[in-house]
Amino acid sequence: MFKTVKDESGAATAEYVIATMAAVGFAGLLVVILRSPEVKDILFGMIKAALTQQTPSP
């Protein structure tokens, strides 16, 4: 009833395509999230705090 497939020559290529498409979708989601003004403000604040030298109080 079921036919056994013995030729798997394109299986690895199909797996690479699926993984690549998932990565592209995830990258697109990150772009959408990072373009929001709230996230930009949070990231800019973190970078500014990391680069600003704090003088210790005596």
pTM over 0.75: no
Extents of the domains making up the chain? 13-51
Please report the pLDDT score of residue 12 as a whole number.
Answer: 81
Distance CA 32, CA 27 (A): 9
28 contacts 34 by C-beta, under 8 angstroms: no
Q: How far is CA 57 from the centre of its chain?
A: 40
Lookup result for tokens 């699926």: 18
Q: How far is CA 46 from the centre of its chain?
A: 20
24 contacts 30 by C-beta, under 8 angstroms: no
pLDDT digits (tens, 9 = 90+) for 4-50: 666 667 678 888 999 999 999 999 999 998 899 998 899 899 999 88
26 contacts 20 by C-beta, under 8 angstroms: no
